[in-house]
Amino acid sequence: MIIAFANQKGGVGKTTCTFNIGVGLARLGLKVLLIDADPQASLTIISGLLPNEQENTIYEVLNDKCKPVKAIQHLKDVDLIPSHIRLADIDLDLTNKMNREQILKKAISNIKGYDLILIDSSPSLSLLNVNVFTVANKIYVPLELDQLCVDALELLQQTINKIKKAGLNKKLSIGKVIITKHTERLNLSKAVLDYLKKTCKGTLSKTRIRNNIAIRESQTEFKPIYDYAKNSIGSIDYKALCKEIKKEEKF
């Protein structure tokens, strides 16, 4: 299965979710590959790699300059195809290619041996993201409980509808909405949560990732939250979320 993490609003914890869910599911027995499809290369960085030092990245894969297996980095718990800042130019590189929306799908179609592939996408609507949505089985949407994120969720659904209408991925859907940076005390949070409970039935995660400084700190140490602060609420929440996902997806 291929799951893309997406939200057209930045700063919602998308990369953090991709990394910690990937590691968490790996520790529950799954073979996991992460793909950093964001030119900012945040997933690559928090995984402990320096993007500028990577010879083969998703950029080279998409430009057919290297096979995906040559770009895979083997980390402690998961494998990773890193990103690089030059990925920012990929839309221009792909514009005149045939079947340009399906280049990522074709490139990674021969990758074998993984139970799960998680793709971290950029917050912009781009040809690169169209490629991500074309190859994904499901989209997981991390979001904060504010009105801007609700608006972004609606925009993402519109994008999914366009992908399906174009015949690029007719089965694409939102698989899970994950609440991040959650704070119970805010009245606005409660109002938005009530709205999501009504509109996201069947996809809203039972587990919410509570606001926790240890999660942000773990990224600067290039560690999953489970290793940086194993008894923190961040670690507890992500472990619970991974168990929820494993059970519901029947991995």
Q: Which pLDDT value is given to residue 188?
A: 64
Q: Which pLDDT value is given to residue 146?
A: 82
Mean pLDDT, contiguous 10-residue spans, the chain (251 residues): 91 93 98 96 96 93 94 97 93 89 94 96 90 97 86 91 95 95 73 85 92 94 97 97 95 85
Q: Where are the beta strands (DSSP E) in 77-222?
A: 79-81, 116-121, 138-143, 174-179
CA proximity to 57, closest of 91, 79, 87: 87
Query: Cα(175)–Cα(93) distance, rounded to whole angstroms?
Result: 31
Q: Which pLDDT value is given to residue 135?
A: 97
Q: Using DSSP bridges, classify how beta strands 138-143 and 32-37 pair: parallel, antiparallel or unpaired.
A: unpaired
Q: Which pLDDT value is given to residue 12?
A: 84
Query: Cα(60)–Cα(83) distance, rounded to whole angstroms?
Result: 9
Q: Which pLDDT value is given to residue 185?
A: 64
DSSP sequence for 108-145: HTT--S-SEEEEEEPSS--HHHHHHHHH-SEEEEEE-S
**pLDDT tens digits for 115-168?**
999 999 998 889 999 999 999 999 999 998 887 878 888 999 999 999 999 999
Q: Using DSSP bridges, classify how beta strands 32-37 and 116-121 pair: parallel, antiparallel or unpaired.
A: parallel
Query: Cα(247)–Cα(191) distance, rounded to whole angstroms?
Result: 29
Give residue limits of the domains in the chain: 2-249
Whether this prediction's pTM lies above 0.85 is answered by yes
Q: Which pLDDT value is given to residue 2?
A: 97
Query: Cα(24)–Cα(35) distance, rounded to whole angstroms?
Result: 16
Q: CATH fold of 2-249, please? A: Rossmann fold (3.40.50)
Q: Which pLDDT value is given to residue 67?
A: 93
